[in-house]
Amino acid sequence: MLKIENLHARIEEKEILKGLSLTIGEGEVHAIMGPNGSGKSTLASVLAGREDYEVTEGTVTFNGKDLLDMPAEERAREGLFLAFQYPVEIPGVSNMNFLKAAVGEIRKHRGLEALTAKEFLQLVKEKSQLVELDGQLANRAVNEGFSGGEKKRNEIFQMAMLNPSMCVLDETDSGLDIDALRIVSEGVNAMRDGKRSFVIITHYQRLLDHIVPDFVHVLYKGKIVKSGTKELALELEEKGYDWLKEMEEAK
């Protein structure tokens, strides 16, 4: 479904991704871990099409199409969703209007009929229950004045509304309290249907207890230096990253 090969990307003359390769099959859940500054959010931004980053080498195919050739909005319409590490506030724009426009564009792109107002409200109701999002929040301006945890929950709510096939979650667990972590994880699990794929960026093994990944990768200095199954996350939790860093430096 998503195939990243030898990806190099830089920002302001600084190379951040240095030959990253990763293949994600249909329905798979991949966790990406790695020290601060290793390039995890950069990877997410490059996949989502942020123009500040320049891809200097490598390819990314998404459902057989050249992802890097598409503008950001087209990637979203094709089914790529990014839950941001730091969701932005858009004052004065109601969450509902925002989602209505987004759902409309995405459905149009996928050749689906526009939802009626009633159908849309029904969808909002259903999906907000999934992450137990307070109905009031749906009516407020996008993320404005939301607490850190509410913002993260809102990301997952939007994800559920937009029905993507490839979900990239950038540290969705950070800032969540214990209950919220469980709720959000359950929401994500409910969306695992054997077809939809996930890339879950996290620092904590704790999240992976809830959302059990098929694969775990370690990103270090812009490359994947180790891949394994969920046991790798446990090992990292125990030993930290130093042993991997040393191994890398030795090369």
Tally of CA atoms within 13 A in the half-sphere of 56 that contains its CB: 12
Q: In this chain, which stretch among 33-41, 66-74, 143-151, 153-161 interacts with ligand ATP, using CB under 6 A? A: 33-41
Residue 162 in contact with residue 102, Cβ under 8 Å?
yes
Q: In this chain, which stretch among 11-19, 149-157, 186-194, 231-239 interacts with ligand ATP, using CB under 6 A? A: 11-19
Specify the residue, 99 or 169, whose C-beta has the smaller distance to Mg ion: 169
Among 9, 24, 42, 185, binds ligand ATP (CB under 6 A): 42
Residue 49 in contact with residue 72, Cβ under 8 Å?
yes
Q: In this chain, which stretch among 7-15, 76-84, 132-140, 190-198 interacts with ligand ATP, using CB under 6 A? A: 7-15
Regarding 109 and contact with another protein (CB under 8 A), the answer is: yes
Residues 160-189 that bind another protein (CB under 8 A): 162
- Alpha helices, DSSP H, located in the chain: 40-48, 72-78, 95-109, 117-130, 135-139, 148-162, 178-191, 205-210, 230-239, 242-250
- Residue 123 corresponds to which tokens in the numbers above? 């969808």
Among 1, 2, 32, 41, binds Mg ion (CB under 5 A): 41
Across the chain, how many H-helices and E-strands are there? 10, 12
Residue 58 in contact with residue 6, Cβ under 8 Å?
yes
Residue 130 binding target from another protein, Mg ion, ligand ATP, none, CB below 5 to 8 Å by type: none
Specify the residue, 40 or 151, whose C-beta has the smaller distance to ligand ATP: 40
